[in-house]
Structure 1
Amino acid sequence: MSKLYVLYEHAAGYAVFKIKEFEEIGVLLPQLESAVFDLGRFNSIVQLESFLPFKTAIAALENINAVSEGIVPEDLKQFLDITLPQKKKKFKLGIADPKLGAAITEVLEVQCDHMGAVPEIIRGIRFHFHNLVKGFTAKSSAVAQLGLGHSYSRAKVKFNVNRVDNMIIQSIALLDQLDKDINTFSMRIREWYSYHFPELVKIVPENYTFARLTKFIKNHKELTEESLEGLEEITMDSGKAQAILDASKSSMGMDISVIDLLNIEMFAGRVIALADYRKQLAEYLRNKMSDVAPNLASLIGDQVGARLIAHAGSLTNLAKCPASTVQILGAEKALFRALKTRGNTPKYGLLFHSTFIGRAGAKNKGRISRYLANKCAIASRIDCFSEEPTQVFGEKLRQQVEDRLKFYETGDIPKTNIDVMKEAIQEQTERLNISKSEKKKKKKKRKLDESVENNGEAQNGLNETKIDEENIDNGEPPKKKKKKNKKNKQEVE
C-alpha cells in the first residue's frame, strides 16, 4: 500500500501533510468532499508531518516566484529531502500545480500526483491551515497572505521596466484622441475666422497651416507687403503667400472687434500647441515601439503595431493569438454579425490601416491581409520572447510581404520562409558579433587610457622625488627649489 504525502505552499512557509488510509479515501471521495469543512473529521484524515517557515519576506517572495514559474527553489528541495521518506517508490506526493510536480519529479525523483482525492485534500488544508499548524491563527495567516500578495503583485508590475507595453497602449489611445480633438478644433477655428476672412479657407486647406496663419494675420486689413515674408515662412509657398495678400485687400469678410480677434488668436495658439504636442507624442511612441516591439514596428509601422498591442491588451496576449485572430482584430462586431446572419466574414480589421492592404488589388486584398497577419504573428512572438530587441526579423518579414505583392502582380516566385529566416538569423549573429567586438575595443581603449594616466602620474611622482633628492644634496629645502624650477620654466616660455 503506497502512502500519500501532500505539499502545501502557504504565504508563511512550506508544509507537508501525511494522509491516513489513502486507498480508502480514494474510494470514498464523496464522503471526503462532505468532510472537508468539518475540522474534527478532517483532522482524522490529515496529519502535519513538517512545517518550514520562511525566514524573511524577501525569501518568501523569491520562493513564491520560483514556484509560480514551475521551478523548485533550493529551500523547498532541502525541505522535501529531509521530510519525505528515503524509499521513494513507497509513497506519492500530492501537489496542486502539475508543472511544479513535474519539476519535483525531475529534481528529486519523487512520484507526484495532482488527480483524484488530492485537490479535495488541498482544499481542506487551505480551509483549516491555521488550525493544523501550532502557534498559527486565522489573523496571522491573513496578514502573511496579504503581505506576500502585495509584494508579489508589486514585483510583477515592476518586471522588465524597459519593455513595458502599458505605455504604448496609453500613448496610442491618447494619440487617437488628439487626432479627433485637433480635427474638431480646426473645424471650429475655420468656421470662426471665416466670418472675418472667408477667402483664406479656399487658399489654405491644411488645418495646422490655417491655425498658424490665423495667429499671424489677425486683422486682414493690417496685412502689408512687409508681411509677405512671414506668410511665405508659414505656407512654404510664395504663390500662396501672394494669394493671401491679394485676397486680404479685397476680402468680403465682416469687421471684427479687438476682443474677438484676441480670443480667436488664443484659440489658434491652443490648436497649434496641441498639434505640436501630437508630433512629440508620435515620436515618443516611435521610440517606445523600437524598444518594446521593433520587429512589429518595422513590419507594419509604429501606429498600426501599437493599435494591435492595445486591442489585444498586451504584447504577450498578441503573441499568443493565432494569425487568424490577428487578421480580424478590430472587426469583432462585423465578424459576429456575419456569423449571426450567415454572411461573408470580414477580411481585415486594424490591418486595413497598413499600406500593404491599400497597395494590393481588389482581388488580392483578402489574400495579402491573411499573409500579413501571419507575418505579424511571427514578429510579435519574436518581440515578446527574444531577450535582445532587434529589427532584423521585422525587415526581412516586411521584404517578404513586398515580394508577395510583386508575386500577385508579376508572378515572380518569392523566397521560402525557411531561407528568409536563416538569412535573418545569420545577419543577427553577425550584428551581435560586431557589437561585442566594438564593446571589447572600447574596454581595451579605456584600459589603455587608464594605464597611460597611471604611468603619467607615476612618472610625475618619480620626477618630484628626483628633484627632492637633488635639493637635499644641495642643502636647499625642496619647496624653494620647486619655485626656482617654476621661474625657470616661465623664463623659457
Structure 2
Amino acid sequence: MALSLLYESAVGYALFDVVEGPDISLGTEEVIKALSEASRFAKLVKLKAFSPFTSAEHALENINCISEGTVSEYLKSLLEANLPIGKKGKKSKFSLGVMDSKLGASLHEELGLSVTSAENVQELIRGIRIHYEKLIGQLQTGDLARAQLGLAHSYSRSKIKFNVHKADNMIIQAIALLDQLDKDVNTFAMRAKEWYSWHFPELVKIVPDNYKYARLVNIIRNKQSLDESSLPQIAEVVEDEDMAKEVLEASRSSMGTDVSPIDLINIEMFAMKVAELADFRRELQNYLTGKMHNVAPNLGALLGDQVGARLIAHAGSLTNLAKYPASTVQILGAEKALFRALKTKGKTPKYGLLFHSSYIGKAKQKNKGRISRYLANKCSIASRVDCFADTTSDVFGLKLKEQVEERLKFYESGARPRKNIDVMHLAQKEVAAMEDAEDAAAEESEKKKDKKKKKKRKAEDAGPEKESDEPVKKKKKKKKSKDKK
C-alpha cells in the first residue's frame, strides 16, 4: 500500500511520497543515520506537492483549523488535486500519514481517506521537520524561521483575544488574591497587636477583632493622652458605647510601658496599612461577588461566591468544571488524600472543597458523605447551566439550593422531598416568564423611542412653516394700511 505524508508548516502544506526503504519502526543505526542526514533522508521521501499560504491571515486561518482538528477548504482542495480520492465506501489503495490523530479523523470523515498515525509515520514526519528547508526547493535559509515567528505571535494574540475563559480567569485571579489577603491580613494584624501591646496590652482582650483593633490604634495613639473627647470616635469604630467606655477606663489603669514618639509613629503607620489592606479585601470580595453573578450565578447561589469560585479555580475554568462528573466534583481539592487512600487501601475522602459549604456543617456526622454526594450532583447541574445556557439568571441555582435543604430535612425528619424533574420544570417556567417580561419591556422602550422620534420630526417639519407664515401676514397688513391712506 502506497503511503503519502502530510506536513503542515508556517509557510504552507506539503505532501510527500514515501519511497520503499528500511523499516523505520526498528530504530536501527541505519535508520537513525538516514533520518539525521539530509542526503540519505531525501532518498526515503520525495516531494509530491507544495501549497504555500498566500498571506499571514491565510496562515492564521489554516493553523486555527488544524488546532481545532477541522479540515479547511485550502487543505481539502490540495488533497483532492494530488491524491486519488474515491468513494467513501470503497477501500483505497493508499494511506495518508498525519501527525495529529484528531485531524486524521476529520480527514477520514470528510474525504473518506485511509489515515494513519503509526510510529513509523511520526518518525518520518520528524525527519521532514528537521530537513524541511532542504526538501522544499522554493525556500531560502531563514524563511521558515521568520514565518514561524510571525505565525506564533498572531496565533497567540488570537487565542488571547478570543479566549472563552476570559471571565473565568478574572474569577480565578480574584479568589487566589482573596485567599492570600486573608492570610496576610491575619499575619499583619497579629504583628500589630504584638507591637502595640507593649504600650496598651489590655486593648487586645477588649477588642479582639483585627480590623477594629487596627483602626483603634490610629485613634488612641498614646494612651496617656486619651480622654472623654475621643469616646465618640471609639464608639463609632467598635459600634458599642459600653465597650468604648471600657477602653477609656483600661487606658487609665494600663500596665503597659511608655513608647517614644518615633516608635509610636511607626506603629500607627503599620496599623493604618493593615486597616487599608482589610478595606481592600472587602472591596475585592464585592468585586468577586459581581463577577460570580455575571459568570456563574447558579453556582454562586447554590454554594456561595467563595466556594463556587474556588471550585472554578481548582478546575481551571467553568467549562472544565462543567465537563467533570459529579463524583469528581465531590472530591475536587482532596486529590492527595484520595491517592493516599488508594495506595494504602484505606477509606477514600468524602469531600474536598465542598466541605467549606454550609450544608456539610448542618448535616450530622453519619449523613455528611450522603449530603456531599448529593451536593456535588447539584453543583454539576448548576455549572453546566451556567456554562451552556443562553441567558444568565440564578433561578436554577436557587431551586437547587431548595432541593439540598429539602434533602437535609429528609435525612433528619424523613419528610419526602420533591422530584428533580418537577423542580427543573418550575425553574424553566420561571426563566421563560423572565425572558417574556424582558422582551415586553424592550418592546415598550422601543415604542417610546419611536414615538419621541416621530414627535421630533413633526416639530422639525412644522417649525419653519410657522416662521414663514408670520412675515407674510405682516406684509399683507402693511399693504392694507397703504391702500387706506
Q: Would you call these one fold, judging by a TM-score over 0.5?
A: yes
Q: Quick check: 1:71 aligned with 2:70?
A: yes
Q: Is the Cα contact below 8 Å between 1:7 and 1:15 reproduced in 2?
A: yes
- Specify the alignment match of 1:487 in structure 2: none
- Which moved further from structure 2: 351-360 or 316-325? 316-325
Superposed CA deviations along residues 401-432 of structure 1, whole A, max 9, x for unmatched, are: 22211111121222333333343344334433
Alpha-carbon distance between aligned partners in 1 of 2:17 and 2:470, rounded to the nearest angstrom: 84
User: Share of identical aligned residues, percent?
Assistant: 54
Superposed CA deviations along residues 182-223 of structure 1, whole A, max 9, x for unmatched, are: 112222222333333333222222121122122112233333
Q: Quick check: 1:418 aligned with 2:421?
A: yes
Secondary structure class of the residue paired with 1:400: helix
- Specify the alignment match of 1:409 in structure 2: 412
Alpha-carbon distance between aligned partners in 2 of 1:450 and 1:241, rounded to the nearest angstrom: 62
- Specify the alignment match of 1:288 in structure 2: 291
Secondary structure class of the residue paired with 1:195: coil
Secondary structure class of the residue paired with 1:164: helix
Alpha-carbon distance between aligned partners in 2 of 1:152 and 1:64, rounded to the nearest angstrom: 8
Q: Name which of 145, 149, 152 aligns with 1:146.
A: 149
Alpha-carbon distance between aligned partners in 2 of 1:424 and 1:4, rounded to the nearest angstrom: 57
Secondary structure class of the residue paired with 2:13: strand
- Give the AA of the match of 2:149: L
Alpha-carbon distance between aligned partners in 2 of 1:475 and 1:255, rounded to the nearest angstrom: 100
Q: Is the Cα contact below 8 Å between 1:97 and 1:114 reproduced in 2?
A: no
Which blocks of at least 5 consecutive residues in structure 1 are unaligned?
A: 477-493
Q: Is the Cα contact below 8 Å between 2:85 and 2:113 reproduced in 1?
A: no
- Which moved further from structure 2: 294-303 or 421-430? 421-430
Q: Name which of 262, 270, 275 aligns with 1:272.
A: 275
- Give the AA of the match of 1:14: Y
Alpha-carbon distance between aligned partners in 2 of 1:44 and 1:429, rounded to the nearest angstrom: 67
Count of residues paired in the alignment: 471
Equivalences for residues 305-454 of structure 1 within 5 A: 305-386=308-389, 388-454=391-457
Q: Name which of 198, 201, 204 aligns with 1:198.
A: 201
Secondary structure class of the residue paired with 1:364: helix
Question: How far 1:321 moved relative to its partner?
Answer: 3.4
Question: How far 1:226 moved relative to its partner?
Answer: 2.9
Question: How far 1:273 moved relative to its partner?
Answer: 0.6
Superposed CA deviations along residues 59-99 of structure 1, whole A, max 9, x for unmatched, are: 21122112222333333344444444464455554444343
Q: Name which of 86, 109, 112 aligns with 1:110.
A: 112
Alpha-carbon distance between aligned partners in 2 of 1:336 and 1:18, rounded to the nearest angstrom: 48
Alpha-carbon distance between aligned partners in 2 of 1:432 and 1:25, rounded to the nearest angstrom: 67
- Specify the alignment match of 2:221 in structure 1: 218
- Specify the alignment match of 2:59 in structure 1: 60
Alpha-carbon distance between aligned partners in 2 of 1:72 and 1:179, rounded to the nearest angstrom: 50
Q: Is the Cα contact below 8 Å between 1:102 and 1:112 reproduced in 2?
A: no
Q: 1:454 to 1:134 in 2, by over 3 A?
A: farther
Q: Is the Cα contact below 8 Å between 1:162 and 1:291 reproduced in 2?
A: no
Q: Is the Cα contact below 8 Å between 2:24 and 2:123 reproduced in 1?
A: no
Question: How far 1:138 moved relative to its partner?
Answer: 5.1
- Specify the alignment match of 1:491 in structure 2: none
- Specify the alignment match of 2:482 in structure 1: none
Alpha-carbon distance between aligned partners in 2 of 1:472 and 1:162, rounded to the nearest angstrom: 74
Alpha-carbon distance between aligned partners in 2 of 1:473 and 1:361, rounded to the nearest angstrom: 99
Secondary structure class of the residue paired with 1:48: strand
Q: Is the Cα contact below 8 Å between 1:92 and 1:110 reproduced in 2?
A: no
Q: Is the Cα contact below 8 Å between 1:217 and 1:223 reproduced in 2?
A: yes
- Specify the alignment match of 1:9 in structure 2: 8
Q: 1:474 to 1:118 in 2, by over 3 A?
A: farther
- Which moved further from structure 2: 432-441 or 258-267? 432-441
CA RMSD of superposed structures (Å): 3.3
Question: How far 1:358 moved relative to its partner?
Answer: 0.8
TM-score, with length taken from structure 1: 0.83
Alpha-carbon distance between aligned partners in 2 of 1:328 and 1:274, rounded to the nearest angstrom: 33
Alpha-carbon distance between aligned partners in 1 of 2:474 and 2:384, rounded to the nearest angstrom: 75
- Which moved further from structure 2: 299-308 or 24-33? 24-33
Secondary structure class of the residue paired with 1:134: coil
- Which moved further from structure 2: 85-94 or 289-298? 85-94
Q: Quick check: 1:245 aligned with 2:237?
A: no
- Give the AA of the match of 1:61: L
- Which moved further from structure 2: 136-145 or 267-276? 136-145
Q: 1:363 to 1:441 in 2, by over 3 A?
A: same
- Give the AA of the match of 2:116: H
Secondary structure class of the residue paired with 1:14: strand
Secondary structure class of the residue paired with 2:7: strand
Q: 1:424 to 1:67 in 2, by over 3 A?
A: farther
Question: How far 1:143 moved relative to its partner?
Answer: 2.1
Alpha-carbon distance between aligned partners in 2 of 1:465 and 1:72, rounded to the nearest angstrom: 69
Secondary structure class of the residue paired with 1:51: strand
